[in-house]
Amino acid sequence: MNFTEQQLITWSRPVSTSEDQKCQNAINQVTEALKAKFGNKISIFLQGSYRNNTNVRQNSDVDIVMRYDNAFYPDLQRLSEEDKAAYNAQRTNSGYNFDNLKADTQAALKTVFTADVERKNKCIQVKGNTYRINADVIPCFVLKRFKTLQTIEAEGIKFYADDNHEIISFPNQHYSNGTAKTEQTFRLYKRMVRILKVINYRLIDNGTITDKLASSFFIECLVYNVPNLNFISGNYTQTLRNVIVKIYEDMKNNSDYTEVNQLLSLFSNKSPRTRKDALDFMQHCWNYLGY
């Protein structure tokens, strides 16, 4: 083992108070700018590492979701063909599409942040400064997953990247399930995620892997699928070993993993993530740690 138990404990800690304040400053400023434009038509909340308390020092932004609540996308996959036809027959158009929403969001942010606003493929970025960190603002509509014509199974968000890629997420369920997992694992779930994120950044910095191999979201999901019995109270070295070995073995066996929200498959046909990516990342982590 190349690292001591104390070093692993240090890596497992969240960001400092000063960094946390810069995150909050960005959230407050962005929220004020968006509310001035959209008022009560939107809900604003966080997703990603900052909200889930898995961010580490190398994370350089906060993900702010701006959900437009006056329209929604339906997910009808679980309905029969007859019910789908019945729903579509009475469906009405909101008159406000996603292209309009993203353009209006960008304009609202430019009014306040001027040249610090840049449109990205999946978000509108507000660049950071000495007072705030970078903020990735994600405009989206509500997604309603129908169980029957009369029953909504789950609510999430949906938006489109500029490359026309459809993105569906369930950030509230992700947060709730991740928090529960942490409580069930002696608070080690999120600590293991942070450790693996630190290792990920180190492997990127030394040129061992690219920054495309394992995103923060991917790491959170992989560790989430490790059974709770693998998390050993008070033993970071053994727990981290258990996590890496379990994920590696599961990937070799083509095991099914879900996202933390438990509503989407981690390795669906639409996902860019693969079991080989997870396998390679775990192997690099193992080698780096020197188990």
Tell me the pLDDT tens digit for each residue of 74-119: 999 999 999 999 999 998 888 899 999 999 999 999 999 999 999 9
Tell me the pLDDT tens digit for each residue of 20-74: 888 899 999 999 999 999 999 999 999 999 899 998 876 668 999 999 999 999 9
What pLDDT is attached to residue 59?
61
The 10 Å Cβ neighbour count of residue 215 is 16
Domains, the chain, in order of start with CATH, read 17-169 (3.30.460.10), 175-289 (no CATH)
Rounded Cα gap, residues 107 and 114, in angstroms: 9
Please report the sign of the dihedral spanned by the C-alpha atoms of residue 184, residue 190, residue 195, residue 197: positive
Query: Tokens representing 122?
Result: 């999946």
Amino acid at 80: S
What pLDDT is attached to residue 271?
79
Taking the complete model, does pTM exceed 0.85, yes or no? yes
Q: With pLDDT > 70 as the criterion, what percentage of the chain qualifies?
A: 98
44: left (phi over 0), alpha (psi -120 to 50) or beta: beta
- Shortest CA distance to 246 belongs to which of 264, 260, 225? 225
Answer whether residue 16 shows pLDDT above 80. Answer: no
Which residues are registered as beta bridge partners of 44? 66
Query: Tokens representing 82?
Result: 């007859």
Tell me the pLDDT tens digit for each residue of 132-191: 999 999 999 999 999 999 999 999 999 999 999 999 999 999 999 999 999 999 999 999
Q: Where are the beta strands (DSSP E) in 96-233?
A: 117-119, 124-126, 134-148, 151-160, 166-169
Rounded Cα gap, residues 35 and 50, in angstroms: 21
